[in-house]
Amino acid sequence: MTQSDTVVREERAATGNIVATGFNTGAESDLSKLDARLAHMAEIGCTGAEITATGLDAVVSCRLLPERVAQIREIMARYPLSYSMHAPIAINLMDEAHGDLMQKAATVSMELAAEIGAGAVVIHPGRCHPDDWAARPADLLAYELDRLRPVADRAAELGVAIAYENISPNRRVIAGEETSYSLDPRQLADQLAALDHDAVFACLDISHAQQGAVLWGFDMIAACEALAPWIGHIHYSDSTGLPATFPWTHEGERHFFGVGDMHAPKGMGSVDFEALADRLTVRPGTRIVIEIKRTFHNHAELATLKAAQDFAARVNGARA
């Protein structure tokens, strides 16, 4: 049993289905900075952390680098945190032109997570061109499942799980170059039901759900409620949901205007976290990972951690 497993088991007994709360590390190749970041999280009261696989240089050409992996594992084991890992966002199991490569990248992500002690691996669901989706959605959904099943089987063998995350209306979506059924959490629930694999659950990204609701015109909280039976992981941040439909250059400009995937602290967007918490159920062992931009860490880190902990307590209390 890993240190991460022990943390999850002990906190589940104390707190309910949501067992850990913390931040993501961001892409970090300097392992001394990763060490310092994890130490800081533990010091301020985090009980979990999400490692960003991109930038670690632990995988090259879809192969693990054993010495680098061992260094990362040793650093992570120093801290009493329940770990998850975010796989590269570029992984797309609906990409027919690069299917073998995408499946290979997803599989080695499971292997990396198992090696470093991360219990869940966040992956973004399939994306495609809107014209392809309009022409043959059923074929594309089936193709994704055919690619996802063997990755899920490998995850199960390794004792890790896949957290499939509803995506945001990113620049490619807004430009009409890409779309995904997972912009709507209800459709993600349908795909997970079709897969029905014990090693795969949903990662509810709250801000992404808000953005999808504004873009497509559905009830955000009702859509999250529909996904609830599958939720085993949560990404926590706020946004208005307004799409970034005009040119912008600096990340801070999105915050200034309040558009796009803001990754903002609670209260800086439009999500009603209390109403969501009162209607949300999640699976045992669920982790909350706070995803706010580094600029916000400078002045809102502790307040956001407290808000996420309060959200977890409210979800757990509502179902106690």
pLDDT at residue 15 in the model: 59
pLDDT under 50 in the chain at which residues?
1-14
pLDDT at residue 195 in the model: 98
pLDDT at residue 319 in the model: 58
Neighbour-count burial of 62, counting CB atoms closer than 10 A to its CB (0-12 exposed, 13-18 middle, 19+ buried): middle
Q: Which two tokens stand for residue 19?
A: 């067992």
Helix (H) or strand (E) holding 195: helix 185-195
pLDDT at residue 28 in the model: 86
Q: Is 275 helix (H, G, I), strand (E, B) or coil?
A: helix
Q: Which two tokens stand for residue 168?
A: 């945001």
Tell me which residue of 182, 176, 179, 178 sits closest to 163, measured CA to CA. Answer: 182
Q: Is 54 left (phi over 0), alpha (psi -120 to 50) or beta?
A: beta
